[in-house]
Every structure is written in structure tokens, then in C-alpha cells.
Structure 1
Amino acid sequence: MRLCFVDESCNGDFSGFGAIVADALQTAQLTRRMNEIVAELDEGYGIGRATEVHAYLMFHGKEQWSEVPVRVRIRAFEQVIDAVCSAGVDVLLRAVHCERLRERQSRSRYREHHSPDQVAFQHLLQRIDEIALRDRTHALVIADERTDRERHRDRFAVYQLHGTPGSYLSTRLDRLLDTVHFAPSHHSRMLQIADVVAFVWRRAETVVETDARQARTMSRLIEQIRSRAYKPGIWP
């Protein structure tokens, strides 16, 4: 069985999700490595061993990360992405251009106008289903907690009963088990990894780095992430 850990990252016209698809052994391996990374930071800077690896806070040096030097925070990003690549997991990156989606739905006179996050999440679920089929197994989806989780659960149930909208990649998500489960990211190292992956991808797609060293680092990180990505894309 595969476990898929999902987190969202949005900025302006970009609405997207990053996900890690792992088996039980890979999940245990990555959780252990994340705990080691945080323990090393705690020894050096006293951030606390239970501190969440939250990409935005870590990148900008806020809250528990405020006393950690920039070079060390950059190294933490590198360690997380290195761990993802070493574990051999699948990475999923699916997003929507919000304005282009609205224009397409209006131009084509869609009967229903779906929100960007709903469309992006649907595309993500379709790829998880493909991976499970490829690996001849099933998958359970675990996402970071959000206020509209019931809406996503309801849509998931509709997809499994009637199929995903549209003819392209239409599926009833037969390989996905139960429902979408939502969990607090501060209790899940795997959701924290998904957060880091989603943050780096979103930033690479939406921000022009003005600092040369930062640009090189972000370029290296996103190339590593893309090397593990299964059919990444931004629609339309």
C-alpha cells in the first residue's frame, strides 16, 4: 500500500499542491531522518525537538527559526530534499493558473465552475490513482488540515461514485482507499516534507530570486524535486 501526504501552497494566480507518495518503509525512513535533522538543529540552536519543519517559517527565519542562521536554514532545506531523493519516493506537483481557469470555464461555458484548489486537488488524486495502479497496490490520502476539508471529502466521494469530471483521465479513483484523511502537520513529519516540497515548487514558479546565492540554491532544490516528480504540471 502507498501513503500519499499532501500539502497546499498558493500565491496570487498560483494554486497548487505538493505530495509525497511512499510505502510504509519509506515513510518510517523519512520520519526518522526528519527527526534527526530537527534534533541536530535543537542541539545547535535550541529550537526544540518537536519543532515543526514549516517551510515558510524556516525560509524567512520566523518564530522558532528566528535564531537559526540563514546558512543553517538553507542547509536544512537541502537535507530534507536530499532525504526525499534518497528514499526513492514519488513526488507529485499539480497546480492551476487561477485566472486562466476562470477564463476557460467562462469561454467554454462550463455547467459548473470549480475553484482552482478543487481542480488542482482532483488532478493530484488522478495521479495518485495512476501510481497505485502502476505499482499494483492501493493508496491512502492524508492531507494537511484545512477549514474546507468537508468540501474535499464530499468531492472525493462524488468522484468515486460517478468518476472525475471531463473525459481526460476520467477515473473513479478505484485504487484510492476510504476517504481523504486530514491531519495536523505539526504532528506529521511526512506532511512537513510535503510542505517543504510544495513551498519550493511554488516559489520556483512564482518568484524571481534577486539574490544570486539564493537563486542558485532554489534552482538546485527544484531540480532535485523535479527529478522525483511524477507527471508534474500546471493547468490550463
Structure 2
Amino acid sequence: MHEFCSQSRFPSQRIPKSDRLLALENDLSRIAAGFFDSRTLTTQTELHGKDLFHGKGNAKGRKLADRVRVFQDIAALISDNGIPVRMIRIDVEQHRKKYAYPEPEYHLGLMLLLERFCEYLDASDDLGLAFGDYEADEVTRSVADFSEFKARGKTPMYLGRPLERLLDTIYFTQSHHSRFLQAADLLVYMAGRYENTQPNPDKWHEREVNAAWEKIKASGTTFIQRWP
């Protein structure tokens, strides 16, 4: 789960079909190697949206065009392969105003995201596994919530849905250990930046990264559920 922008939450994940996973893994490693000159998974070779955009962390000192190209390459990978993307945008302020006893945002985001995953899996008649970025204060809670939802037979929403197509548990790992999680991080960064505000048209990199995000949305495989 990721959080960007002061009053919005953007849980997100990509849902590649199993027969494309090896090719996608190789393509993501190729993108990382093109920027870092290494395919090895370390903190020094992690693709992180915020650092790439601002030239911080392991992207410090790198040419702006090279940093922008990473966003463009990820956008091309997602759109060219028709990879489904599901996101939940929670307007925290409106959520808390609307409900007398509002569901905690993290709990709500998890429920909605798992529902969208299973909605996709139902439509494609497939099974799936859920993976997440390791955050110590969220792991135990997420695993417990997921197992409770499955034990109840569905999510505890008014129109909750079964989660039987998601197997076993939610698996967590550090983002620098997974190119798939890193790609999701870039998507969440772009969504958080461009779904809430208009890009500055005077800045070349803003226009280019926003265009990359628009390309992903135009692919027809991206769905953002806005709550409430």
C-alpha cells in the first residue's frame, strides 16, 4: 500500500496474466539496467517514483531526460502489454465527513482493492496472489484482515464480494527486492501527482511524465475507483 498527497490514498497494483510474467520481469529488469547499468536487486538499483522525478536518492545527479525516460518506458510496458491496473483513490476529508463512524482509510483501501482484484480475476476466470510493499506497521494487520474477509466469505462492505480467487495470504517484501512493486510505485506516484493537480505546462519533465501517465490511462486497462 502506498500513500501520496496529503489528503488522498492511492492503494494500487498491476495484475499481469501468469503467462506474461517471465517476459514482464525481464522487461522490468531491462529498464532498471538501462538506468542503473545493473539488473541486481539492491537499494542502489531501486526504481522509486519520487526520487526519479525529483532527482533524489539513488537518482541524484542523473540527467533529467534519463529519469523521465524511466517513466516513459514503464508507461510503454504497461500500455503495450495491456496490463490491467487497479487503483483506489480515497478522499480522506470527504470520507470522514460523509460517515458518522468512518472506516479507517487503510482498512477501507485494502477492502476495495482486494474487491477490484477479484472482480478482475472473476472476469478472466483466473486465480491470483496478492503482494505488497513491506511496511512493518501494516503487515500483520493486512494479513489478519485478509484472512478474516475470506473466513467471512466476503468483504464487510454493504455490497461485499467473495475473495476466494485470491489464494493463501498477502505476501509482503521490501520494494527494492521486487521490480513489480517498483513499477507499481511509479504508477502510484504518477496517479498521486496528476490525478489531484494539473501539471505545470512550463516544465518539460512535468509534461512528459504526465503524458506517460495519460498513455497508461488511454490503454483502456486502468481503472481508478474514487471514494466516496
Asked whether 1:132 is paired with 2:121, we answer: yes
Match of residue 61, structure 2, among 47, 59, 67: 67
Q: Distance in 1 between matches of 2:120 and 2:30?
A: 29
- What is the root-mean-square deviation in Å for CA atoms of aligned residues? 1.9
The residue correspondences of 1:10-49 to structure 2 (distance < 5 A) are: 10-43=4-37
Q: Distance in 1 between matches of 2:113 and 2:36?
A: 35
Cα deviation, residue 230, structure 1:
4.3
Decide which moves more: 170-179 or 208-217: 208-217
- Residues 45-97 of structure 1, C-alpha deviation per residue, up to 9 Å, x if partnerless? xx885401111111111122112111110011101111111222111111211
| Distance verdict in 2 for CA 1:60–1:215, change over 3 Å | closer
- Give the counterpart letter for 2:104 in structure 1: S
Contact persistence 2:83–2:221 (CA under 8 A): no
The residue correspondences of 1:16-165 to structure 2 (distance < 5 A) are: 16-43=10-37, 50=41, 51-106=45-100, 110=101, 113-147=102-136, 148-162=138-152, 163-165=154-156
Which residue of the partner structure matches residue 181 of structure 2? Answer: 191
DSSP 3-state at the match of 2:99 = helix
| Distance verdict in 2 for CA 1:171–1:48, change over 3 Å | closer
Contact persistence 2:14–2:184 (CA under 8 A): yes
Higher normalized strand content (fraction of residues) = 1
Decide which moves more: 113-122 or 128-137: 113-122
DSSP 3-state at the match of 1:68 = coil
Contact persistence 2:64–2:205 (CA under 8 A): no
Unaligned runs of 5+ in 2: none
Cα deviation, residue 156, structure 1:
0.9
Percent of aligned pairs with the same residue? 24
Decide which moves more: 153-162 or 195-204: 153-162
| Distance verdict in 2 for CA 1:42–1:174, change over 3 Å | closer
- Residues 129-157 of structure 1, C-alpha deviation per residue, up to 9 Å, x if partnerless? 01111111111101111122111111111
The two structures have a TM-score, normalised by structure 1, of: 0.86
- Give the counterpart letter for 1:231 in structure 2: F
- Residues 195-224 of structure 1, C-alpha deviation per residue, up to 9 Å, x if partnerless? 111110111123333353234223312222
- Give the counterpart letter for 1:225 in structure 2: I
- Give the counterpart letter for 1:58 in structure 2: L
Contact persistence 2:121–2:127 (CA under 8 A): yes
The two structures have a TM-score, normalised by structure 2, of: 0.89
Which residue of the partner structure matches residue 210 of structure 1? Answer: 200
- Give the counterpart letter for 1:145 in structure 2: Y
Unaligned runs of 5+ in 1: 1-6
Which residue of the partner structure matches residue 226 of structure 2? Answer: 234
Q: Distance in 1 between matches of 2:122 and 2:222?
A: 13
Question: Aligned residues, how many?
Answer: 221
